[in-house]
A and B are shown apart, each in its own frame.
Chain A
Amino acid sequence: MTNSKGRFGAYGGQYIPETLMNAVIELEAAYEHYKNDSEFCRELNKLLCDYAGRPSGLYYAEKMTENLGGAKIYLKREDLNHTGSHKINNVLGQALLAKKMGKTRLIAETGAGQHGVATATAAALMGMECVVFMGKEDTVRQALNVYRMKLLGAEVKAVESGTATLKDAVSEAMREWTSRISDTHYCLGSVMGPHPFPTIVRDFQSVISKEIKSQLLEKEGRLPDAVIACVGGGSNAMGSFYNFINDKEVRLIGCEAAGRGIDTFETAATVNTGKIGIFHGMKSYFCQDKYGQIAPVYSISAGLDYPGVGPEHAYLHDVKRAEYVPITDDEAVNAFEYLSRTEGIIPAIESAHAVAYAMKIAPTMDKNQIIVITVSGRGDKDCAAIARYRGEDIYE
Chain B
Amino acid sequence: MNRIKSAFEHGKAFIAFITCGDPDLETTAACVREAAKNGADLIELGIPFSDPTAEGPVIQGANIRALAAGVTTDKIFDFVKEIRVDVKIPLVFMTYANVVFSYGAERFISTCRNIGIDGLILPDLPFEEKGEFQPVCEKYAVPLISLVAPTSENRIGMIASAAEGFLYIVSSLGVTGVRSEIKSDLRSIVEVVRKNTSIPCAIGFGISTPEQAKKMAAVSDGVIVGSAIIKYLERYGKDAPSQIGKYIKSMKDAISEIK
Residue A293 at the chain B interface, CB threshold 8 Å = yes
B58 part of interface (Cβ distance < 8 Å): no
Q: Is the CB–CB distance between A14 and B126 below 8 Å?
A: yes
- Give chain A nearest CB distance to B142 CB in angstroms: 18
Q: Smallest distance from the beta carbon of B76 to chain A beta carbons, Å?
A: 10
* Nearest CB in chain B to that of A173: its residue: B53
> Is there an interface contact between A178 and B173, defined as CB atoms closer than 8 Å?
yes
For A293, what are the chain B residues with a Cβ–Cβ distance below 8 Å?
Answer: 49-50, 67
* Pair A278/B98 contact, Cβ less than 8 Å: yes
For A168, give the chain B residue with the smallest CB separation: B51
Among the listed B72, B73, B100, B151, which residue makes an inter-chain contact with A19, where contact means beta carbons less than 8 Å apart?
Answer: B151
- Tell yes or no: B132 within 8 A of A by CB: yes
Given contacts A3-B129, A14-B126, A293-B49, contact A19 B99 (CB under 8 A): no
Kindly specify which of A284-292, A341-349, A352-360 makes contact with the partner chain.
Answer: A284-292
Q: Which of A15, A22, A276 has the most CB of B within 10 A?
A: A15
Point out the residue from A14, A280, A292 that lies within 8 Å of B129, measured CB to CB: A14
Q: Which residues of A291-349 are within 8 A (CB) of B?
A: 291-294
Residue in A1, A19, A23, A175 whose CB lies within 8 Å of B170: A19
Contact (Cβ within 8 A) B128 A17: no
Could you tell me the distance between the alpha carbons of A288 and B100 in the complex, rounded to whole angstroms?
Answer: 13
Kindly identify, within residues 160 to 195 of chain A, every residue whose CB is under 8 Å from any CB belonging to chain B.
161-162, 167-168, 171, 174-175, 178-181
B-chain residues with CB within 8 Å of residue A16 when the two chains form the complex: 124, 126
Q: Chain A contact residues (Cβ within 8 angstroms of B): what range?
A: 35 or more
Which one of B50, B56, B74, B152 has the highest number of Cβ atoms from chain A below 10 Å of its Cβ? B50
Q: Is there contact, CB below 8 Å, between B151 and A3?
A: no
Residues of A within 8 A of B178 (CB): none
A307 to chain B, nearest CB (A): 9
Closest to A279 in B: B98
Cβ distance A388 to chain B, nearest Cβ, rounded Å = 29
| CB-based contact A181/B51 at 8 Å | no
Chain B residues with CB under 8 Å of A288's CB are 98, 102
Chain B residues closer than 8 Å to A277, beta-carbon distance = 98, 101-102
How does the 8 Å CB contact mask read for B108-132 relative to A, with 1 for contact and 0 for none?
0000000000000001111111011
Contact yes or no, A13 B155, CB < 8 A? no
Enumerate A1-30 residues with CB–CB distance to B below 8 Å. 1-3, 5, 13-23
CA separation between A168 and B64, bound complex, in Å? Answer: 13
In the assembled complex, which residues on chain A have CB atoms less than 8 Å from the CB atom of B124? 15-17, 278, 281
> Within 8 Å of chain A (Cβ to Cβ): is B157?
no
With A16-B124, A17-B123, A17-B149 known as contacts, the answer to whether A291 contacts B175 (CB < 8 A) is no
Bound-complex Cα distance A291 to B50 (A): 10
A15–B148 alpha-carbon span in the complex (Å): 15
Assess whether A18 is in contact with B127, with CB atoms less than 8 Å apart: yes
- Measured CA separation A281–B96 after assembly (Å): 11
Complex formed: what's the CA distance from A367 to B215 in Å? 77
Name B147-182 residues within 8 Å CB distance of A.
Answer: 147-155, 159, 170, 173-175
**B interface footprint on A259-288 (CB within 8 Å = 1, 0 otherwise):** 000000000000000011111110000101
C-alpha spacing A292/B72, complex, angstroms: 10
Is the Cβ of B50 less than 8 Å from the Cβ of A162?
A: yes
Chain B residue nearest to A175 (CB atoms) is: B175
Q: Is the CB of A2 within 8 A of B102?
A: no
Judging by beta carbons under 8 Å apart, are B126 and A22 in contact?
A: no
Q: In the assembled complex, how far is the CB of residue B192 from the closest CB belonging to chain A, in whole angstroms?
A: 14
Q: Decide yes or no whether B97 CB sits under 8 A from chain A.
A: yes
Indicate whether B103 reaches chain A with its CB closer than 8 angstroms.
yes
Give the contacts of B26-56 with A (CB-CB under 8 A).
49-51, 53-54, 56
A291 partner, pick from B72, B97, B148, B154, beta carbons under 8 A: B72
Q: Which residues of B contact A179 (CB under 8 A)?
A: 173-175
Q: Is B227 part of the contact surface with A, judged by Cβ < 8 Å?
A: no
| Contacting residue for B155 out of A14, A15, A22, A286, CB 8 A | A22
Contact for B73 among A181, A275, A291, A294, CB less than 8 A = A291
Q: Would A161 and B60 count as touching, CB distance under 8 A?
A: yes
A3 touching B159, Cβ below 8 Å: no
Interface mask (B211-238 → A, CB under 8 Å = 1, otherwise 0): 0000000000000000000000000000
25 sampled A-B residue pairs with Cβ under 8 A: A2-B129, A2-B131, A3-B128, A14-B128, A16-B126, A18-B123, A18-B155, A19-B150, A19-B151, A21-B127, A21-B151, A21-B152, A161-B57, A167-B51, A175-B54, A179-B175, A278-B124, A288-B98, A291-B73, A291-B74, A292-B49, A292-B96, A292-B100, A292-B102, A294-B98
| A-B residue pairs, 5 tightest by C-beta | A292-B102, A179-B174, A19-B149, A3-B128, A292-B98
**Interface of B toward A, CB cutoff 8 Å:** 49-51, 53-54, 56-57, 60, 64, 67, 72-74, 96-103, 123-129, 131-132, 147-155, 159, 170, 173-175
* Further 9 A-B residue pairs, CB within 8 A, beyond A174-B53, A278-B132, A291-B74: A2-B131, A15-B126, A19-B149, A19-B170, A20-B151, A179-B173, A276-B101, A277-B101, A292-B99
